[in-house]
Structure formats: structure tokens, C-alpha cells
Chain A
């Protein structure tokens, strides 16, 4: 029998007496994709950083092609053919694809000059071999996120990597871009490489992985072949308790139109968008990355100036010239990029929760500390935010809890319409469910939810109706009975 590409057994690691990993194990076969599953804090990241030699293990064995190894730095792991593609890519944007691939080991011509000609041709043949449609001379800043991922893969292979670890590679991708990535992964499999795939998106795991290992609370739960496990079983292993439904949906749309949008234009060629949403309704906006979904929200929230179109809220025509005005009218906007535009990471939980509601928490220009702390407490309780104190920096919270802080910030403003842009991205299965519950409850209480999502499952599971965007225009609308993944993807592409 051929030795396994990578085998991990009984790895343990604790920080300050607290066990982060009590039994880390998995095995990766040649030419296969192995999914590492688990909620936030399950120990996946710790295990991967041990494999990569970033952290030292307390005990346990790691075997590479059957031989025991002990990497003390990522450099050693890389030399042994293990490469990681981090969740947050860090390209040098003003350099070309070829320069990025060969960063730090550029081929040289005489007198220390960089041999651009051979560097470009080496990079190009690498990309072509993988069937990536990318010109090696393009600047990184001109590529979309999916293409950046592909470049990272090419870079990993240029180090002769046999094992590629992908940590949430699709967290910034839409489904079409994700398909590009999956095609690349299949090519890699065909070449006998092994891929360790980490993702919260179960549908992807079922689409691409061959085997899986589940971790929970730092301990190994189970592993096996994807063919022998159902989605429900996998969720149950990850969450640790039976989960009847993945989605929670109890709202029923009313008859009264709450928000109506007619002929709205926005940036990036978003033109003539019309839709309406009723009280009690969850309307999904589905589309590929760059199809103009977020631009609709940006215009509705006054972040983009008026470019034509009519917005009617509660029977009254409104102009939306600033976020403050939009908030005053009862709109709330949970942005797609939690760290980039959702939270002030250096500020406390309390300050973040209060941020959009300051005029109501102050007397004249002076803040009322009592009202601030009451409001923060109220939202921490409502969303069950796990934090020892509301004065702690929000940066120290887990992704799911951070997202709940963002929701708390907006619920404090008592909104009528909730604009949610990819609200479940990067949060684990348990926290996802809570966010679905919040959406459903909000709609049931008479509010309207507009949900932007790239996940067809989520749209089918939660939406009462969906509009699909393509190239800045609405390409179709589907009622709840018509909703299906096929139809959504068909309209979007």
C-alpha cells in the first residue's frame, strides 16, 4: 500500500492550561480532497498551524509519506511540499502575476538583474498547465478574488507542493467563481496532489471533498468518506446535537408593501432596478459577485449619491442622501465586510453596539453612559453575545459573536427594513442558525428583510421571493414556489 501523503495522530495542544486540541488526527490520501469540518473554535486552525510548523505541538505524531516529521517553521513545511493558502490573501497588488508567483526567488540574469522574460514564460506555462485563464503579466490589482486564489494555487505548485491546504477559500467568492476554483481543484487531484479543504459551506464540501474529518471543541469526532455521510449527519456531528432544520423560517409575508424601489440606478452600471418588499417578507437578491447586488444597498443607504430612481417607504417617497438619513427613516445595513465596514475592531462591544444610535443615547451633545450601557446590555442579552464585559474590545470576539454585535447595533435603531449583505459568511453552523432565527423573527414582527446571498441553499431556505441580478440589472424574479438552485443559477449566469 502506498503511504499516505499526510497522516496526523493524537496531536494535542494547550494554551495556558486550556486545551485547544485534545486529539487532532486525520489522514490525506494522494489525489484526494479531505474536508476538515467544525464550528469556530473546534480546533481546525490550531491543528493546521501545527501541521504548518507555525505552532509547536505538545504531543502527537505527524507523518509525511510514512516518515515522521516535525516542522519548526512554515519554511520547513513548504520545503517538504506542504503549502497553505490563507483565508485572507496578501498579494502585492502593484506587481504582476509572475512577480507575485516568484516573489523572493526571482530568476536572475547578469549583474543581479531580474530575468523578466524567463520569469514571465515560466509563470505562464505554469498557469497554462493548470488551465487557468490568466496572463502572467497582468497586475494583481486587476484580478478578481477568484483569480487571485488561482494565482495562489499556481504559486503553491511552483514550490512543488504535494499538499495544498485551503482555509475558507470561497469565503470571498460567489458560486460561479467558486466553480472556477473547484475546476482547478479537480485538475490538482488529477495530478495526484492532496488537498486539505476547510469551509463552513457544507454544499461545497459535498461537491468537492472525497473524505472528511469533523472536530468539535478541540477533539476528533469522526471521519470517513463523503459518500457515506448525509448532510444532516454531518451537521449533527459539527454541532454536537441533533439539528432538525438547518433553516428557521416562521414568517409569512403580509399584504402591505413596505418598501418599493422603481428604476433605481447605482454605481458599477446598476441600472433600472425595481422591486418591492412587503411587511413580514424576506426578499432575497441573488447574483454573482460583481452583478451589482451590494450597489443596490449602497444606494438605498445613501452611501452613493442619487443617480435616478424612486424609493417609496411606507407610502412616502424618500430621498436618501446620507446614511444618517437612511437610519433615521428606519433602514439598517449589515454590510458584507464585517471587519472592513461593519465594526470598529479597536472599540469596545458597547461602543460598537451604540454607534448607529448615538443621538438617542445622548442629552444634547453629552453621552449618557447609563443609557449606553443599558442598550448594550439589552442587545448582548437579545442576541446572546458571548463576552465577559461590554467594555472588551470587539476584536477579541469570535466571528459569529462579532456578527451578532453588528446585528445588535442595527436592532438598537429599531429598523423597519433590514438590509443584509451576506450575513452568514464566515460564521459557523450554530451561529448561522441564530442569524436565520433573527431574520425570521424580525419579519414576523412586521419588518421587511432584504437578503443578499451567494448561497443558493440559503436563498431557497429563507426567502419568500427572490430577484436575480445579472450585469447590473434584474434578470428575473422567483416566487417561493418557483425557488430552486437550478433556476437561480440559470438566471444569474
Chain B
């Protein structure tokens, strides 16, 4: 979009410069503008919206989907997709919970174990799921949609097998800190999300690995010829997505106080929605994790606003659907102009 501005020198002379510039800004920062507008409208419409308590609440609600969406951004940037994150949320959550519960029936013998150990195991479970998907995609060239659809089903089955279909309750206070704790009034959930986001932003924008991710997604052939190990990159993005899904699963269990075998169902859809609304192209190679953050926030704010105004939750789903499609239509319109 910057290209058009600089390459076509005649546009300013024709008048309409301001209008055009506004249009360009609108397209470039469209999602951010939409978020700000929605916030303004809600702030005027409902006095409760701008209270510290509600803002904290919105951020808390964004955290888990936001973390999944950050992982999803890596995968989608390489032209992939990870449909398994919802199931991995449940599997990692229940495995970690079984190590951190005082319940004698649902826990692993000898427990409860220290919270850090449980978290390490939960992360490993998530990364292992991602590694399996990653190998299937990168080594055996199975389309990501199919490979992770398989993992979606398999991880859910493993979750039910592991816990016998029962929830794991009575989590230790140490483990529950990641879901309910607060530091200086800020929920630990939000802090973890902020840290994950900042690391992802740094990795994608400042590191060699980040360049590799964009190149591998933008044109895998050119990336291979340029000496980039595209298979390795494709493998690693699923490990990242799986690991973050594991983290999100534990945060969810810690927040609610017990790990449920049916946790995380359809979470992958909200994660993909946040990425897509945030402007990352499903065709790969184009997108930013800042966009994903804004996308995730927009979904939460809209849900929150509709809650505050007492709109039925069924409508929320319809509106989210419209939002997703509208965001991509905007993006397509921009591409056509280019």
C-alpha cells in the first residue's frame, strides 16, 4: 500500500489527497480503528464499560484465546493451520492438573507435585502434540488441515482416556496462581499473555527465525533456494503452537479450579478468527502478531459489550461471524486495489 503512494506521483496533484490518505490509513489500521470505535461507542453507551474492573475482566477473557492466537499466527504465517489447539488445551490441562491435585482419586500417585513440575509437564505435552503434527506436516507432506484435524480428534480421545472422562478437581493453590493470581492488581493470566505476546512479537520482527518464518510462508521454494531449512521451520511452528496451547490449557484449568475433559472445544475457531481479523493472510508470509492482538481484543470487547447491553449470547456468535468475514473482505478489497 505504501508502494502505491510513492509510485503514483500524480495522485496528490489530482486533489482528493486527504480523502485518499484517510482511505489508506483506514485500510492499514482498519482493525485498530474498528477496535477504538467499538470501545468509544461502548464507553458512551454503558458507564460500566470503562471501569477498571471491566477492563481487567476483558483482558482476562482475552488472555487464553490470545495465547492460542499467537501460536496460530506462527502457523498461519507458514501457510499452515492448527485445528488441534482446542483438544491440546484439554489434554495438557488435564495431565498437568493430575499432577497438581489434592484429590486422591483423580491425581497421579504420590501427588500433589510442585506446581512448576506440573506446568513443565503440561508444556511438554502440548509441545509433543505440536511436534507430532509438525512431523506429519513437514516430513510426510500431509496438508496441515488434515494433520491437525487428526490431532484434534486424537488429543481429545487421549484426554478422555487419561482422565477416564472425569474432571480433575481440587487443584493446589500453587498451581491455581497462574489462573487466579494477581500481581499489583493485574491478573497473572494477563501478565502471562503479555509476556507471550512480547516474546512472539520480538521473535517475529527481530530474529533470524522470524525472517525464516515469513520467507517460508511467502514463497517456500525461494526460501529453500536461499538456504533456509523450510522443513525445520514448518516443524517448529507447530511445536510453538502446541506449547502455547498447553500453556493456555493449564491457565484455563487453574482459572476454573478443575480440568475438564471437554475443555477447549472449538477454541481453535476463535484463535483462527483473531489471526484472520488481525490481517494475517491464510496464504502465508503476510501478517503481524500485533494484528492478532488487536483481533483477539476486538472479539473480547465485542462479546463484553454485548454482554453489558444484555444481548443474548446467540447474537454474539452471529456478530462474530459477520466480523470475521467483514475483516477478510476489507483485506481482499485492499489486495484488489494493489
Contacts and interface: CB of A to CB of B under 8 A. Distances in A.
A362 B203 CA distance: 13
A367 B208 contact: yes
Contact of A355 (B3, B7, B215): B215
Contacts of B4: 396
B207 A367 contact: yes
Given A17-B10, A327-B227, A409-B226, 19 more contacts: A17-B13, A303-B225, A323-B225, A323-B226, A337-B221, A340-B221, A341-B221, A345-B218, A345-B219, A346-B281, A354-B211, A355-B211, A355-B223, A355-B228, A358-B208, A358-B211, A365-B209, A367-B211, A369-B206
A15 interface: yes
Contacts of B215: 344, 347, 351, 355
Given A301-B225, A355-B215, A356-B226, A388 B14 contact: no
A351 B212 CA distance: 10
B306 interface: no
Nearest to A397: B3
A32 interface: no
Contact of B208 (A328, A335, A365, A389): A365
A322 interface: yes
A367 B223 contact: no
A345 B11 CA distance: 25
Contacts, number: 108
Contacts of B13: 17
8 contacts: A15-B8, A18-B9, A323-B226, A333-B225, A347-B218, A355-B215, A355-B222, A392-B3
A393 B4 CA distance: 10
B141 interface: no
- Interface residue range, chain A: 35 or more
B3 A393 contact: yes
Interface string A337-361: 1001111111100010011101100
B10 A347 contact: no
Interface residues of B, number: 35
Nearest to B284: A346
Nearest 6 interchain pairs by C-beta: A17-B10, A344-B218, A324-B227, A341-B221, A388-B6, A396-B3
A344 B3 contact: no
Contacts of A1: none
Contact of A347 (B6, B224, B285, B338): B285
A409 B222 CA distance: 11
Contacts of A345: 218-219
A16 B8 CA distance: 7
Contacts of B210: 367
A335 B225 contact: yes
A317 interface: no
Contacts of B207: 362, 365-367
A217 B157 CA distance: 66
A208 to B, nearest CB: 33
